[in-house]
Amino acid sequence: MRGEDDATIVEERLRELAAHLRGPRRLKSDLLTEARHGLLDAVDAYRADGLPATEAQRRAVAEFGSPAQLAPAYQAELAAGALRGLSLRVVTLATVALVAGDLTWQGSSWGGSPPPAAYQWLSSSVGWIWAAAFGLAAIGLLPAGRSALRGAAADRAVGAALTGILALGVLAGSALFAWSIGLWDAALTWPPMIIGAVVAATGYLWLGRAARTWLLAAR
């Protein structure tokens, strides 16, 4: 039987490994749980060979490896998971932005007033920025085992580009909203515009948390 105090050395090694890792909490927990099961199975095997509990743990932990040896492989998996999480959020929000963005203007009292050319350029740029983010996110969602488009170095490049273009998208979208209010006072009280602003702000925060997780995991 495996006693509650039979895994003290195992748990200490897992805590040391956890301290080296940064990334999505659920994935990190799953990886550590998987490592725990493997270590305890090794402990059981050594005990079945007649070793005392403490010695069995020591051998299992030594065979498992040190945190410094193990952390790079675990961290790479966490970084890949963080990129998948960020990419999924980008695809979701970009789809909403590309499909529903124009709905904030339909039926407005100022719809017939043509905005300045620079405003139209900025509006088009926001659409292209989200389209580019969608494309990068699609690469980030490719499954493992995935051709030359995905690998550790490629993941870092995709994640860095995606984070950068998201920052650009937030700045451009915020500037467009502020300019809209400056051009049309009624925009500030137009319900679809208000709803769109709330959804966009919530989405930006949602993406920001995922981008921060990826940056920590890939650092």
Residues 122-160: pLDDT tens digits?
988 988 999 999 999 999 998 754 444 556 788 889 999
Q: How many CB atoms lie within 10 A of CB 77?
A: 18
Q: Note the pLDDT of residue 193.
A: 78
Residue linked to tokens 């079945």: 48
pLDDT of residue 147: 42
Q: Which residue has the higher pLDDT, 113 or 132?
A: 132
What are 23's two structure tokens? Answer: 């990334």
Answer yes or no: is pLDDT of 36 > 70.
yes
Give the mean pLDDT of 83-97.
91
Residue 107's pLDDT is what? 59
Q: In this predicted structure, what is the pLDDT of residue 190?
A: 77
pTM of the model: 0.82
pLDDT higher than threshold 80 for residue 5? no
Interval 148-206: pLDDT, tens: 455 678 888 999 999 999 999 999 989 988 888 888 777 777 777 788 788 888 999 99
Query: At residue 111, what are phi and psi to the nearest 5 degrees?
Result: -60, -25
User: What residue type is 109 in one-letter code?
Assistant: S
Closest CA to 80 of 4, 167, 17, 159: 159
